[in-house]
């Protein structure tokens, strides 16, 4: 009899570990196909205890496994331990985490098809190995390290870590990653490296740099990517290369942290502060935090890199004598910066008080003049607005009608390019009405601005401006709308790098990680919305985003002196902008951490959210309140649990910020504790009550529920 993990969610009645029979004694970690109800599914043989196993225990009723995926080595013990920790800490089912970490095509291909894939990969690997013994092109000459880079590389090699690399934008963090990876791979012929980035669009340029550096040394197949933007065959090929050890370097997004990489010796988490590392659907794990845990589990060094570290990471990198767990490494200067280049070679930050500009002005007079000056010099400008579409809403001044989504509690965004109203949450799209649907007024107008409207307005303002050779100004927009088609982002970025664009307009897609050598001016036209948001993390996110955007300006050492960052604000004296002007992240972090400590907010407390989705808001909240009441009455009777409950605060249930999406009502309940251990203990015990409550009459109409540990949005 075998225990096998199957992909069932935590809220399902059936467990994740089921019993199956087998004529073979299969080790834990073996991939198998098993029957599950009326279908066949992929499973993982698991070393489970009796309490974890669900299903029939009568030997006559136990179903046999269908087949074994021969040729695939079992997933190793370290991977199994990582999955078990992830499921336990984030309150998910074992099967949900384990099977989601495997490439989708493993669930579809037959054993014979997988055997053919393995043989094909082995043949390619052998060919690459043979080629490696032949004379190859010389590897590119390594750039000279700056004193700061050299010191950091030496510290990474000398200490065990984990490390927090606090490096200014343009300080050369990527070169540090490359040198550290090269040192690890040179020391061990089997060693593998995992390099993570927060977004898919940052993967190609990083992959190009790693291939340029390592393909001449270890062959083209030594570097693979792993992210959700790849086709299923591509993901399977990359996963097999990593699992077999053929791939020496794996580049990927958050999903890559759970990939099977049996000889892992170094993990790099670039832009470690980015919220994209924390999932918002499915298994809501933090890839950054799991990377640190995985490094500890497998004896791999971990480097977290950022110009604006997450406040939790900054707090954990305080001196060891004060309880810090990370070793902080500092690179404050841009590569090639001199003493005459201002604050460590970073662009000058200029704040514009929009209260002193013409009313309803989108671009201030001095900012527009600065953009024209850049165009005349043949340089590029970047205008940043984190809102896509033409306008956030269409509005009727006569009756007050607004373009609300009928299925969600949000407004549909007006997209002028195709004359549609589009919901960015459920996808519901309709043509723009000819008149107000309520009163018939034909004069319905857009309110607010998105990148599409900003691009149009900027084209009007620069209509009479010419490039140095006399041509018309070229404006480009990069956001989720202009990059929907395959290859669109790459072609647009190539045009920017080639100097074919004078002004680039975009969302946060252009603010992170890109090395635009011709950009000397970056402008944030409307960043104030985040200053007064209810989310306590809003100032941190705004500071990080603006700092990242500022880092796109003046990246060419020859243009540092004239590079600028413009912040248009109605609150120019706000502490966030003041700290940004001085590039004073340590000061900003100290103030934010002080405020959080006074309010007992993370990292000085631990939090979890229980989210419920139902046909009505009433049912969602009834379920959460009933589960809360049961916790405080039933669990208080369990031996030893009154002491645990004394450390737990259960807040009343409330609707989520966007309470309805696709006609599904959503509510949430915050659970908080000063002790992370107490919170984890409580959540584990509460699972049984949540399951029981979901089956009660009060929860009739409940669709699903989930626990989100360490949430980033409350």
Of 95, 90, 99, the closest CA to residue 283 belongs to: 90
Q: Which two tokens stand for residue 540?
A: 């941190």
Listed in sequence order, the DSSP H helices in 201-339 are 203-218, 232-244, 287-298, 311-316
What's the pLDDT at 142?
86
How far is the CA of 107 from the CAs of 102, 114, 238, 525, 708, in angstroms?
Answer: 9, 10, 16, 47, 27
- pLDDT, one tens digit per residue, over 215-230 is 888 887 899 999 888 8
| Per-residue CA distances from 374 to 156, 343, 371, 494, 530 (Å) | 40, 22, 5, 20, 29
User: What is the tally of structural domains in the chain?
Assistant: 5
Q: What is the pLDDT of residue 311?
A: 96
C-alpha–C-alpha distance, residues 145 and 345, integer Å:
16
Residue whose tokens read 């034909």: 442
| 332: Cβ contacts below 8 Å, ≥ 6 apart | 148, 167, 168, 171, 344
pLDDT of residue 88: 93
Q: Is residue 267 part of a domain?
A: yes
Residue 127 within a domain: no
- Model pTM score: 0.91
The two structure tokens encoding residue 92: 């998910």
Residues 196 and 513: their CA atoms lie apart, in Å, by 13
Does the residue 341 lie in any domain? no
Find out whether 51 and 87 touch, Cβ atoms under 8 Å.
Answer: no
CA–CA distance, 17 with 30 (Å, rounded to integer):
14
CB 145: neighbour CB atoms within 10 A? 17
CATH number at residue 637: 3.30.70.260
Residues 6+ away with beta carbon under 8 Å from 217:
139
Residues of the chain with pLDDT under 50: 50-51, 55-57, 130-136, 339-340
Domain match, 151 and 206 both? yes
pLDDT at residue 123, as a whole number: 62
Find the CATH number of the domain harbouring 92: 3.40.1440.60
Whether 250 and 261 have beta carbons less than 8 Å apart is answered as yes
427 & 462 share domain: no
CATH number at residue 274: 3.40.50.300
Query: 537 and 465, same structural domain?
Result: yes
Could you list the residue range(s) of the whole structural domain that residue 402 is in?
Answer: 393-447
**Phi/psi of residue 299, nearest 5 degrees:** 70, 30
> Does residue 119 lie in a domain region?
no
> Domain check: are 14 and 39 in the same one?
yes
Residues 316 and 363 in one domain: no
292 and 234 assigned to the same domain = yes
Which tokens is 546 given? 């603006």
pLDDT of residue 122: 64
CA angle 364, 370, 372 (to 5 degrees): 105
- Structural domain contains residue 121: no
Domain shared by 169 and 298, yes or no: yes
Q: How many residues does the chain have?
A: 714
- For residues 590 and 610, membership in a common domain is answered with no
CA distance 348 to 580: 10
Reference 632, options 644, 621, 620, 622; nearest CA is 644
580 lies in some domain:
yes
The DSSP-derived string for 43-93 is: EEE----TTTEES---TTTPPBP-EE-TTSPPPPHHHHHHHHHHHHHTT--
pLDDT, residue 56, reads 46
Q: Both 169 and 304 in a single domain? A: yes
Instruction: Order across the sheet with 413-415: list the strands.
Output: 413-415, 420-422, 429-431
Q: Are residues 501 and 619 in the same domain?
A: no
262 and 359 within one domain: no
Q: What is the pLDDT of residues 438-463, one digit of tens each?
A: 999 999 999 988 999 999 999 999 99
């Amino acid at each position: 009899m075998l225990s096998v993990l199957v992909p069932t969610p935590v809220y399902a009645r059936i467990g994740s570990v089921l019993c199956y029979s087998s004529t073979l004694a299969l080790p834990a970690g073996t991939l198998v196909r098993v029957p599950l109800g009326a279908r066949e599914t992929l499973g993982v043989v698991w070393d489970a205890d009796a309490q974890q196993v669900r299903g029939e225990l009568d030997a006559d009723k136990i179903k046999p496994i269908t087949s074994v995926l021969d040729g695939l080595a079992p997933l190793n013990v370290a991977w199994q331990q990582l999955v078990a920790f992830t499921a336990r800490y984030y309150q998910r089912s074992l099967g949900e985490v384990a099977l989601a970490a495997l490439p989708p095509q493993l669930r579809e291909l037959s054993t014979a098809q997988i055997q053919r894939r393995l043989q094909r990969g082995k043949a390619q690997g052998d060919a690459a190995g043979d080629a490696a013994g032949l004379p190859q092109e010389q590897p590119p000459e390594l750039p000279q390290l700056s004193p700061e880079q050299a010191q950091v590389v030496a510290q990474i090699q000398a200490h065990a870590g984990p490390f927090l690399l606090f490096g200014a934008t343009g300080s050369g963090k990527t070169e540090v990653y490359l040198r550290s990876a090269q040192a690890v791979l040179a020391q061990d012929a089997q060693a593998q490296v995992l390099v993570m980035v927060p977004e898919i669009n940052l993967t190609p340029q990083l992959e190009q740099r790693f291939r340029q550096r390592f393909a001449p040394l270890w062959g083209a197949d030594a570097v693979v990517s792993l992210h959700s933007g790849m086709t299923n065959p591509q993901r399977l090929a990359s996963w097999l290369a990593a699992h077999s050890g053929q791939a020496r370097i794996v580049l990927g997004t958050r999903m890559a942290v759970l990939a099977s990489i049996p000889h892992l010796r170094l993990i790099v988490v670039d832009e470690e502060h980015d919220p994209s590392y924390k999932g918002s659907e499915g298994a809501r794990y933090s890839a950054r935090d799991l990377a640190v845990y995985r490094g500890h589990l497998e004896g791999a060094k971990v480097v977290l890199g950022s110009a604006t570290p997450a406040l939790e990471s900054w707090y954990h990198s305080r001196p060891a004598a004060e309880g810090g767990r990370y070793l902080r490494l500092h690179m404050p200067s841009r590569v090639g910066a001199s003493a005459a280049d201002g604050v460590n070679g970073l662009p000058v930050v200029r704040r514009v008080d929009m209260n002193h500009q013409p009313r309803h002005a989108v671009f201030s007079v001095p900012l527009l003049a600065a953009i024209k000056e850049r165009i005349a010099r043949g340089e590029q400008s970047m205008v940043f607005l984190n809102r896509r579409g033409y306008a956030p809403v269409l509005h009727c001044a006569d009756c007050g009608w607004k373009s609300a989504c009928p299925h969600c509690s949000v407004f549909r965004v007006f997209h002028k390019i195709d004359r549609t109203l589009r919901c960015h949450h459920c996808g519901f799209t309709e043509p723009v009405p000819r008149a107000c649907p309520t009163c018939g007024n034909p004069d319905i107008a857009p309110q607010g601005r998105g990148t599409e409207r900003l691009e149009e307005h900027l084209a009007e303002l620069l209509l009479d401006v010419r490039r140095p050779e006399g041509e018309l100004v070229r404006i480009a927009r990069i956001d989720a709308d202009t990059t929907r088609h395959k290859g669109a982002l790459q072609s647009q970025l190539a045009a920017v790098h080639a100097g074919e664009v004078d002004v680039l307009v975009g969302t946060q897609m252009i603010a992170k990680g890109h090395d635009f050598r011709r950009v000397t001016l970056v402008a944030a036209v409307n960043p104030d919305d985040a200053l007064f948001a209810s989310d306590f993390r809003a100032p941190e996110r705004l500071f990080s985003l603006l700092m990242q955007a500022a880092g796109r300006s003046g990246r060419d050492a020859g243009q540092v002196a004239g590079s600028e960052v413009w912040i248009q604000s109605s609150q120019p004296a706000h502490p966030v902008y003041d700290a940004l002007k001085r590039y004073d992240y340590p000061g900003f972090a100290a103030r934010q951490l002080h405020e959080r400590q006074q309010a007992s907010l993370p990292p000085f407390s631990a939090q979890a959210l229980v989210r419920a989705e139902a046909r009505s808001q009433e049912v969602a909240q009834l379920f959460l309140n009933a589960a809360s009441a049961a916790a405080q009455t039933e669990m208080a009777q369990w031996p030893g649990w009154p002491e645990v409950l004394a450390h737990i605060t259960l807040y009343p249930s409330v609707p989520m910020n966007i309470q309805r999406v696709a006609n599904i009502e959503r509510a949430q309940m915050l659970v908080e504790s000063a002790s992370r251990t107490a919170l984890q203990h409580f959540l584990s015990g509460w699972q049984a009550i949540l399951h029981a409550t979901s089956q009660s009459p009060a929860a009739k109409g409940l669709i699903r529920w989930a626990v989100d540990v360490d949430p980033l949005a409350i």
